[in-house]
Structures are given as structure tokens and as C-alpha cells.
Amino acid sequence: MAVLDWSAAGRPVVGSNAIWLGIAGPDGVSAQNLPTRHQAEARLRALVTETLAAGERLLLGADFAFGYPPGFARALTGTSAALAVWHWLEQHIEDHPDNSHNLRHVAAAINARFAGGGPFWGNGARAEVPGLPRRRPPLPPGLTAHRPADIAARSSGGTPKSVWQLAGAGAVGAQSLTGLPVLERLRRAFPKTLAVWPFQPADTSVVVAEVYPSMLSAEVRAAEAAEGAGACRDRVQVTLLASALLRLSQAGTLGEMLHDRRAGEDGQILGAGHVATLRAALAD
């Protein structure tokens, strides 16, 4: 089991608010801090390659949105398929080895396709980006602020932000814009052995799914308190969720979550609606 906490930072970052990869397996639990997205992408490719070479299976959970509210995909790509948005972003997002990127300009270009000033907002850079407002504008007709997947996570105790918000406390929009191109390249590199849940059945050796580690907020706080002043929340989150998923797999109950599959264009958060099961796995 692997859980990925992503970052859209414009420079290499270590420690908090950085990229962390937590891995749980027969040899124990570990976490790796990857300063850049290029390094993270290389590590993910290596992890998948190692898994396939060993004849094993891998569930990779990534902590950013895999889809957008209904209507966005068709307006952007001409089809309602979420994976078409992945392909479009991979063609347009430029991400460099030093972590610099063009996501704000891509967001502004997407905004220009819609009426009004949105849907994307939250320019966290000093320089103005024409077409990307700093404050939330009215949404274009037909789009909603939150995905059905986000609403399901809220009912499970989470508080996910809107995918349209690119900057500010808890914002996740920038992570999706930079993370989905990475997963699209990973998907293309392993077309027959890697599936994206819930858009594709989880019957391949490698399955990639959206996760939301904050659903285990109480357990994370307890683990941080036990570690003391040196605890890093991002590291704690990925290792705890990876551990919970591993225990469910070992108990033969992880398949129930994967079978609870609703393949709408907005995606689905693995574990939403099953928080009690995840918590029980950590309590065992």
C-alpha cells in the first residue's frame, strides 16, 4: 500500500507542506519526503516497476481530486470522461525540475472558456495573472462549487475545499492541476497493468485511487501528540492511512471499498462512507 501527499509548490520543499510517500507492506511502514514533483514522478514509476517485477499488487492512493464537478469535463474536452481532463492537463501543464510551473496561466486559459470570471480562482503569486482572480467569482452557469465526491467526504467527517480554489488555507485545486498530469503519464506508461479507480475496474496489478487522509484526523492528532514536537503531519497522515489500508487488505475487507464504485466524472474518494472501518483497522 502506498499513500501520496502532493504539493504544488513552485520550489523544492522538504518537511511540512511537501510531497510525502508513505508505504506499508510486509517489511513495515516507511515514509519518503520528495522535494520536487519530478523526483516524485520518478519514484512512483520505480515503485510500480518494482511491484510488477516482483509479481505483487499495489494500491496507490493520492491526496488530490481525480475529477471535477459535472459539466466541466465536457466544456473543456468535448466529452464527459474524467480521464479526458487528465490528458488535456498533461498536454498543457508545464512542470520543470526546479518545481516551477505554469498552472496559474493554464487555469486562466481554462477560465477564458467559461462565462464570467471563473471557475478557477486564488492567485497566490505576487504577480497578477490576467484571467485568474484572487477572490472567488460567481461560478459559470452549470458548474457547482463542490463535487458529489466532496459532499460524500463531508458526510464522513472531512472538510474538503472546492477544486476551483488554487490558493489559501487547505486549498487543493493546484495539487490536482499538477498531480493529474503525473498520474496520466504513469497511466500511459503502464496501460495494461495500471487502472484508475473508480473510472476503471480495480482488477489490475496496480490501482490508483483518490484518498483523503484527513478523514482520520483524530488518529493523526493522536499520533502527532505521541511523537512530540518533531512530528510532521504530512508524514503521519500518509503512514497512518497506508497502514490502515494494508490491514484491511490483509483482513480481506479492502475489496468491499473498491467494489463500492460510482464512476461519475467527478470521481470518488476511497474510504468515504467507510471511515469507521478505517479507524477500526488502526485500532486493531
Q: What is the separation of C-alpha 237 from the centre of its chain, rounded to a whole number of angstroms?
A: 13
C-alpha cell belonging to residue 26: 510486509
Q: For residue 118, what pLDDT is reported?
A: 84
The DSSP 8-state label assigned to residue 206 in this structure reads E
Q: Return the residue matching grid coordinates 499495489.
A: 58
Q: For residue 125, what pLDDT is reported?
A: 81
Could you tell me the CA-to-CA distances from 41 to 29, 46, 186 in Å, in that order? 20, 9, 8
Pairing of strands 19-25, 28-34: antiparallel
Percentages helix, strand, coil for the chain, rounded to the nearest 5? Answer: 40, 15, 45
Could you tell me the CA-to-CA distances from 99 to 20, 22, 31, 63, 173 in Å, in that order? 15, 21, 21, 19, 17
Peptide bond into 198 cis (omega under 30): yes
Q: Which residues are within 8 A (CB) of 96 and not within 5 positions of it... i.e. 6 or more apart?
A: 38
Successive 10-residue mean pLDDT values, the chain, 284 residues: 98 96 96 98 99 98 97 96 98 98 98 91 89 94 93 77 92 96 99 97 97 92 88 95 97 92 90 92 87
